[in-house]
Structure 1
Amino acid sequence: MTKRILIADDDDDALTGLAHLLNGMGHEVALAANGAQAVKVAAQFAPEVVILDLGMPIVDGLAAARALRDTPNGAAMLLVALTGWGQPQHREMTQEAGFDIHLVKPISGDQLQFILSMTQP
């Protein structure tokens, strides 16, 4: 089942690598370089899944998640934190910001497919 997935990461290599992986799985992908851009792109793209890095410039992933949750479609989105931050306090921060899932980089294609299978068709 094809999904609309928005990826936001300030690391170009991580962004393009994940985009290629998701495109290869048959998904429609939109990209953003920071949290502010992610919120703008989401308004046009209407993603079902948003994968956000946490440590981004301008607007970080935590603030972007809160802003996305406040949009009309925000409650229906699956918000995934994909970050290098894996300490318990980071998981608490993502949960409080409205993320559904907290993943620590790097992520495998199998992990990603499993996460995506959890979303509504």
Structure 2
Amino acid sequence: MSKRILIADDDDDALAGLAHLLNGMGHEVALAADGARAVEVAVQFEPEVVILDLGMPLVDGLAAARALRRLPNGHAMMLVALTGWGQPQHREMTLDAGFDVHLVKPISADQLHFILSMTQP
């Protein structure tokens, strides 16, 4: 089932690689290079899933998640933290910010497919 997925990461290679993987799975993908742009894109694109890096400049993934949750359709989105930060306190931070899932980079195609299968059709 094809989904609208927004990816936000300040690492161009990570962004391009994940977009390529998701496009190959048949999903419609929008990209953002920082958290502020992710919120702007989400308003227009209305994603079902948002995958956010946490350590982005200007507006980080935690602040972006809080802003996304405040959007009219914010609670319908699945928010996925995809980060190099994997300590227990980081998982608590993402939960507090409104994320549904916390994944530590790198992520496999199988992991990604499983997470996306948990969203509503």
TM-score by length of 1: 1.00
Q: Which amino acid aligns with 2:28?
A: E
Q: For residue 50 of structure 1, give the secondary structure of its aligned residue in structure 2.
A: strand
Alignment-derived partner of residue 24 in structure 2:
24
What is aligned with 2:2?
A: 2
* In 2: Cα distance, 1:84 partner to 1:45 partner: 26
* Alignment partners' CA distance in 2, 1:63 and 1:48: 19
Q: CA deviation at 1:10?
A: 0.1
Quick one: which amino acid aligns to residue 106 of structure 1?
P
Structure 2: distance between partners of 1:59 and 1:73: 20
CA shift for structure 1 position 99: 0.1
Residue 54 (structure 2) aligns with: 54
Q: How does 1:1-121 map to 2 (within 5 A)?
A: 1-121=1-121
| SS of residue paired to 2:110 | helix
Aligned residue pairs total 121
Find the aligned partners of 2:97 and 2:7 in 1 and give their Cα distance. 17
**CA-to-aligned-CA distance 1:70-114 (integer Å, 9 cap, x gap):** 000000000000000000000000000000000000000000000
What SS does structure 2 have at the residue aligned with 1:62? Answer: helix
SS in 1 for 2:95: helix
> Unpaired segments of 5 or more residues in structure 2?
none
1:119 alignment partner, SS class: coil
SS in 1 for 2:120: coil
Identity %: 86
**Superposition deviation, residue 37 in structure 1:** 0.2
